[in-house]
Structure formats: structure tokens, C-alpha cells
Structure 1
Amino acid sequence: MPIVYNKNIEDHSALAIWKIEETEEELFAGLQLKQHELDLIASFNNGKRLLHWLSTRLLLRTMLNTKDYIDCQFDEDGKPYLVNSEYHISLSHSYDYAAVMISKDFACGVDIELIKHKIKSIKHKFLSDVELAQKQIGDNTEGLYVAWCAKEAIYKWHGKKGLEFKQHIHIKPFKLKPEGCLNALVELPTGTRELAVNYFKTKDGYMLGYVLSTPD
């Protein structure tokens, strides 16, 4: 399993990225799956979706370094969690990559995306006019992906429905670099939080953003 990025972020917190090169059979061989999981993946209508599902679970298993069965489920808001485990988790995938973040002490969120120019056609759907006026975002494809990944990571960190990218998550001005950090103001039911989001661009054209913070 080619783990191309593995970083310990805080004590008991880590982020890893895996390039998917295995076949479905090779991925299956590394997992313990129960009938409800087999029933779920049998419903997938394309091979890439199955590869993504299997690869995130196998990467999660590798990061937790256990031979025991890992019961990964989703709550009513669609947030993944581990049954009978103290770890918070976040999962993401895009084309040839899977990304997983785990933490014992903090809620976390991660998003990875293949950079494509078509994001310019939807930028007004997830960014306010104030955000679009920032020169590092505006009409800059990489800046737009930094903003998208940051907002998606924050959404996953929050883990509850109702958080709108354009209305509730506001990217503050930042300096666009291949790897950096930005701050975002997040309007939550409990009040406004300011979160730091780290991001970086891979050598083969993917953008990744992640956030690690106490739950709201």
C-alpha cells in the first residue's frame, strides 16, 4: 500500500494519504468486512466508488495499526465514526488518492481534490463576493481549490447538516503558497468560531486541506 504522505500533527493525531494502485481483490484481502458492509458495497454502481471505499478503510486500518475488526459507521448527519473507539476520524478521496485523518483529542476534517479549471464555473455557489474579491482566490484556480478544501474540511469537522459553505464559512485573506495555513470564521449554532486550516498542493496536481480543533 503506497502511503505517499504520513504526518503526526499533534499527540495522538495524524494525517495520511494513500495512492490507490491496488486492485479490488488486493484491497479486499486486507480488510475484515461484515455482511452489512458487503451489502453496502454491492450497491455501488461503479468501480471507482468501490476502490475509494475500500482504500479509505484500509488506510484507516493501517493508521490505527490493529488486527481487530474496525467498525466504521456514519451517524444521522453522515459523519463517519468508529464504534467502541475514542478516535475521531475524517475520510476523503479523489480520483487516485484516499486521505484519512484520525485524532484522540480533537474533532477533525480533511478534504482532497484533483485540481480542475471547471471549479471557476461554480465559484459563486460556495464563495461570497467578499471572498471572491480576494486576489488570491478570485479567478485563481489553485486559490479556489484552497478555499473549497478549507470549507469542506470545516464542514466535516463540524459534522452536522445545515452548515452552508457560502453563508456560514468565511475565508479570511491569506497568502497563497504551495503549502500554507489560513483562518476562517465559522458561524455555528453555538456562536462564531475562528479555525485554522492547513493546506498543501501535491506535485501531481491535487489540493488537500485539513482542520483539527476541539468540537464546537
Structure 2
Amino acid sequence: MPLYKTITPNSQTVVKMWKITESFDDLMAAVTLKPETLKRVLGMKSELHQRGFLSVRKLLAEFGYADADLIYDDNGKPHLKDGKQISITHSFNFSAVIVSDQVIGIDIEKQRDKITVIAHKFIGYEADYLDKEQSDYIKKLTTIWCVKESLYKLFATPGTSFKQCFLVIPFELQDEETMAWIDYETKKYRYLVQFFEFEGFVCAYAIGE
């Protein structure tokens, strides 16, 4: 499948998304991997995860990068050798990469009813405006999770709590953006986070200063 979508939030930032329709073998044949990356992908138990991982390498190529240009720090955060900021996500048959001169984070999640089972783990302040009886409750829960996950990737600080440290102010799905805060130790950080729905999924991306 060719590139699914390209978004340019600002002059310094580009988001590219891939819809994964290729087989594992086709994706493997289309990318060149470092030895450690090859070992990693062959060690994955899920073919869906393998295909998601490999599709990210296809997206890197769309940006003009190779697998060799991508490195991970001790916290598992990806970095590009040229100093550009990068964030990566994949969920089921979609993946996305955001590259920017600014600090960024991105997440994709499939909308599923089972998110209600873990809502208590990441919903804190937001419980004041969420309504379980509303028809868009699952979509809003999924969006809040995506927003918080994108902030977590942007902030890259181990030990931060989705429930306590990341706050998403009230929003409407049609707005496709919301303000969110990271409240960590003695500081507060404010972000405008973009989000959108597509094919039963939600994607959110946060861009720092």
C-alpha cells in the first residue's frame, strides 16, 4: 500500500501515515535493516507487530531516512542521527511517524470498548467532564488516551503518571484539537494537541516549543 496520509502541521513538522496491507515477506524484502534491528524484528512473536515495525522503516524511507539513521536511547525513545526530532507509533494495520525540529510525540489507537476496563488507570481530572452515557464516550476515552500517550512520548520522563501528570481539558471531537497540560514536580507545561479519527482509529500528535 502506498503512503496513506501526509500532514504538515507547521513548516518544521511533517506527519506520515502508512496503511499496512503488505505481507511480512513483502515488507522484509523492501527494507534494509541493521543487524540488531533484524534480530529484534525476528524475535517478535506477533506477525502483526513485525509488520507494524517494518512499515515504520517504510515511512522512514518516505522521509529520506534509512534504518541506520534511527537510534534509541536508554529509555527507548527514538532519535535521528541528524538531530531532528522523531516519534513513532503503530496500531493494528496503521503506523505513523512524525519528524520535526521541535520536540514531538504521536500515537494511534484503535477505538475499542475494552478501553473502559483500563479507564480508571489514565482518567483523573477528565472524569469531571466525561459522560459514560454519551454515544461518543468510547471515542473520547480513546482520544484522551492518544493525547496522553503523545505527551508521554514527547516528555520522555520515566515515572510520569497518565492519571496524575497529564491533564486534557474538555474538548469536542469535531474540534480535532485540545489543550493539555503536563504537571510534573514543580512545573507545568502547556501543549496544543491535534487529533483526528479515521477508519475506526484515533491519531493524536503533540508538538512542543
Same fold (TM over 0.5): yes
Residue 165 of structure 2: aligned partner: 168
- Find the aligned partners of 2:132 and 2:61 in 1 and give their Cα distance: 36
Q: 1:14 to 1:51 in 2, by over 3 A?
A: same
Provide the identity percentage.
29
Matched, 1:65 2:58: no
Give the SS at the match of 1:199. strand
- Find the aligned partners of 1:69 and 1:42 in 2 and give their Cα distance: 15
Residue 42 of structure 1: aligned partner: 42
Amino acid at match of 1:123: A
Q: Deviations over 1:44-98 (max 9, x none)?
A: 1121111011001111221x225x663322111111112x212111110111101
Specify every segment of 5 or more residues in structure 1 that has no aligned partner in the other structure, as ranges.
none
Residue 120 of structure 2: aligned partner: 124
Give the SS at the match of 1:77. coil
TM-score by length of 1: 0.89
Residue 211 of structure 1: aligned partner: 206
Alignment check: 8 A CA contact 1:112 1:149 kept? yes
Equivalences, count: 207
Alignment check: 8 A CA contact 1:115 1:207 kept? yes
Q: 1:51 to 1:107 in 2, by over 3 A?
A: same
Structure 1 residue 13: deviation in Å? 1.0
- Find the aligned partners of 1:95 and 1:108 in 2 and give their Cα distance: 22
Alignment check: 8 A CA contact 1:2 1:20 kept? no
- Find the aligned partners of 1:40 and 1:190 in 2 and give their Cα distance: 38
Matched, 1:147 2:147: no
Q: Deviations over 1:174-211 (max 9, x none)?
A: 2232x511011111357101111111001x21011101
- Find the aligned partners of 1:34 and 1:79 in 2 and give their Cα distance: 18
Alignment check: 8 A CA contact 1:138 1:144 kept? no
TM-score by length of 2: 0.92
Amino acid at match of 2:102: F
| Deviating 4+ runs (over 2 angstroms) | 68-71, 135-139
Give the SS at the match of 1:165. coil
